[in-house]
Amino acid sequence: MSFVVELSPAAEADLERLFDFLLDQADTTEDLDRAQAAIDACRAAAQHRLAITPFSFRKAAGNPAQRELIIPFGATGYVALFEIVSASKVVVLALRHQREEDYH
């Protein structure tokens, strides 16, 4: 069984925020490429891993339908908060860097 994976408007905004932060920190063209690679890794992990096994990731908050996907990237990575909304659909609610305090 395969799940449809969607990014909420808030998750899309989080990706833009994360990308902007990485661009602000960039000193070289390699840093710019790495910024794009980080965002691509987040999108790819959400689309591929959540489409197959969304129930295998750790539960988040008090809602059993909400879970967290850890996305490794470099020495740290990112965390995607997602919700299994039906038997065939997953919605990514938010994304953050692992060193950030919380999603919002």
Q: For residue 37, is it within any domain? A: yes
Element (H, E) at 90: strand 89-97
- On whether the CB atoms of residues 67 and 60 are closer than 8 A, the answer is yes
Element (H, E) at 50: helix 29-52
Q: For residue 104, is it within any domain? A: no
**Boundaries of domain holding 92:** 4-97
- On whether the CB atoms of residues 37 and 57 are closer than 8 A, the answer is no
Across the range 3-10, mean pLDDT stands at 97
pLDDT per residue as tens digits for the range 14-63:
999 999 999 999 999 999 999 999 999 999 999 999 999 999 999 997 88
Q: Does pLDDT of 103 surpass 70?
A: no
Q: For residue 103, is it within any domain? A: no
Q: How many helices, marked H, and strands, marked E, lie in the chain?
A: 2, 5
| Number of separate domains in the chain | 1
Q: Give ∠ CA 32-45-98 in degrees, rounded to 5.
A: 70
Q: For residue 60, is it within any domain? A: yes
pLDDT value at residue 100: 83
Spatial distance between the Cα atoms of 89 and 16, rounded to a whole number of angstroms: 23
The whole-chain average pLDDT of the chain stands at 93
Q: Does pLDDT of 104 surpass 60?
A: no
- Residue 91: CATH number of its domain: 3.30.2310.20
- On whether the CB atoms of residues 17 and 11 are closer than 8 A, the answer is no
Q: Does pLDDT of 1 surpass 80?
A: no
Kindly state the DSSP code that residue 28 receives in the 8-state scheme.
S
pTM for this entry: 0.91
Percent residues over pLDDT 90 in the chain: 87
Q: Does pLDDT of 101 surpass 80?
A: no
